[in-house]
């Protein structure tokens, strides 16, 4: 990753050359690990639909979308030490109902958010340099204890509500430079270094979310307001640099309707509208033993879907 794009291409070409001669090993016979050592981890908040709907849930007395949201990509710095590979059981905080927002929470109920992510190479980065620094794409489930988050984020940001586990897929899909992109008109922002200009990259990923084997959502990634290039530029706009192995996330992916809700907070409207799963069980929040899987595909160069694999996690307290 540190050697840069020319070496990435050379290694990829050599692997493609050798692949037909190598024996295939069934996935069930191997143990998958983190695809790279995570240096730093940053989570953005780039879906306008998600930000608006969560704002309506957590701040019903105020407008869903805050005035600053469309001026710059909002994000927070997470804990790289708790990034785990797909299939790892998520040891979340103990489950119980949150108390009223005026008092401290009585416990935590994990509620996941669905995201697609990128790994990047060292150096301060402008929007035009995105393809030279971004190594590839992974899928991420940034698990959230929303009741703790709702209580602790005032006046700062997420802390214990998001620090216990972040699951990533074991596959990094190399960008060459963007295998899943389509260009579309993008609004200009006031932060000149944080914008990709009048045209920007919109990654056309098809996401599927399963709750205990039942498909409950299909969020549209192409509708994300802030692009990966804008996010990366904003991450370094104040002089902050990145390191090889940095992981940064788009944030929860959501669409305008319930079938496209990217977080269970939205899907169940904070538990008020539970969903029925395929086995007849009803869920407002995640329970012990529940399994969540996010998978994704992108348009391939020949028109065939390009698989991005999946990321799976099981709640275990």
Using one digit for the tens of pLDDT, what is the confidence trace for 221-243? 999 999 888 998 898 888 887 88
Residue 28 within any structural domain of the chain: no
Mapped onto helix, strand or coil, the DSSP state of residue 183 is: strand
Residue 23 tokens read as 């024996």
Which of 58-67, 88-97, 143-152, 298-307 bottoms out in mean pLDDT, i.e. has the lowest? 88-97
CATH of the domain at 103: 3.90.850.10
Closest CA to 49 of 312, 299, 265, 307: 265
Active-site residue, 50 included? yes
β-strand partners of 75: 44
Residue 289 within any structural domain of the chain: yes
pTM of the model: 0.82
List Cβ<8 Å contacts ≥24 apart for 77-81: 77/40, 77/41, 77/42, 78/41, 78/42, 78/43, 78/142, 78/158, 78/162, 78/163, 78/166, 79/41, 79/163, 79/166, 80/38, 80/39, 80/40, 80/41, 80/247
- Count of domains in the chain? 1
Residue 57 within any structural domain of the chain: yes
Q: Which helix (H) or strand (E) holds 150?
A: helix 146-152
Q: Single out the catalytic residue among 49, 50, 133, 234.
A: 50
Q: How many CB atoms lie under 10 A from the CB of residue 258?
A: 16
Distance, in Å, from the CA atom of 112 to the CA atom of 206, rounded to the nearest integer, reads 18
pLDDT, residue 107, reads: 40
Instruction: Please give the average per-residue pLDDT across 179-202, as a whole number.
Output: 41
Residue 25 within any structural domain of the chain: no
User: Tell me: the pLDDT tens digits for 48-98?
Assistant: 999 999 889 888 888 889 889 999 999 888 889 889 999 888 766 554 333
More confident residue, 17 or 200: 17
Residue 24 within any structural domain of the chain: no
pLDDT, residue 153, reads: 77
Which of 19-28, 32-41, 109-118, 266-275 bottoms out in mean pLDDT, i.e. has the lowest? 109-118
Helices (H) and strands (E) in the chain, counts: 6, 19
Q: Where does the pLDDT of residue 190 fall: very low under 50, low under 70, confident under 90, or very high at 90 and above?
A: very low
β-strand partners of 142: 166
Residue 132 within any structural domain of the chain: yes
pLDDT, residue 29, reads: 93
Residue 301 within any structural domain of the chain: yes
Residue 303 within any structural domain of the chain: yes
Q: C-alpha angle with apex 20: 179 to 132, nearest 5 degrees?
A: 30
Residue 127's domain spans which residues? 5-17+33-315
Instruction: Please give the average per-residue pLDDT across 267-292, as a whole number.
Output: 93
Instruction: Please give the average per-residue pLDDT across 170-192, as a whole number.
Output: 53
């Amino acid at each position: 990753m540190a050697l840069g794009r020319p070496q990435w291409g050379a290694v990829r070409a050599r692997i493609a050359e050798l692949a037909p001669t190598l024996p295939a090993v069934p996935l069930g016979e191997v143990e998958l690990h983190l695809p790279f050592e995570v240096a730093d981890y940053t989570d953005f908040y780039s879906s306008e639909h998600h930000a608006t709907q969560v704002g309506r849930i957590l701040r019903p007395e105020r407008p869903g979308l805050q005035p600053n949201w469309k001026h710059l990509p909002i994000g927070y710095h997470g804990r790289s030490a708790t990034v785990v590979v797909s299939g790892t059981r998520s040891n979340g905080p103990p489950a119980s109902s949150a108390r009223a927002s005026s008092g401290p929470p009585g416990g935590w109920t994990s509620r996941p958010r669905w995201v697609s992510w990128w790994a990047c190479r060292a150096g301060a980065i402008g929007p035009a340099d995105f393809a030279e620094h971004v190594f590839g794409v992974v899928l991420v489930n940034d698990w959230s204890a929303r009741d703790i988050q709702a209580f602790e984020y005032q006046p700062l940001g997420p802390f214990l509500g998001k620090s216990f586990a972040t699951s990533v897929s074991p596959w990094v899909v190399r960008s060459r430079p963007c295998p899943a992109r389509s260009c579309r008109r993008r609004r200009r922002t006031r932060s000149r270094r944080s914008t990709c200009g009048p045209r920007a990259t919109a990654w056309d990923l098809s996401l599927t979310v399963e709750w205990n084997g039942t498909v409950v959502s299909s969020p549209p990634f192409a509708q994300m307001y802030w692009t990966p290039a804008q996010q990366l530029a904003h991450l370094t706009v104040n002089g902050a640099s990145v390191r090889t192995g940095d992981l940064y996330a788009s944030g929860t992916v959501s669409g305008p309707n319930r079938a496209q809700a990217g977080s269970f907070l939205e899907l169940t409207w904070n538990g008020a509208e539970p969903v029925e799963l395929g086995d007849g069980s009803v869920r407002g929040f995640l329970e012990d033993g529940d399994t969540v899987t996010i998978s994704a595909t992108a348009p391939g160069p020949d028109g065939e879907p390009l698989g991005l694999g999946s990321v799976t996690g099981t709640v275990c307290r």
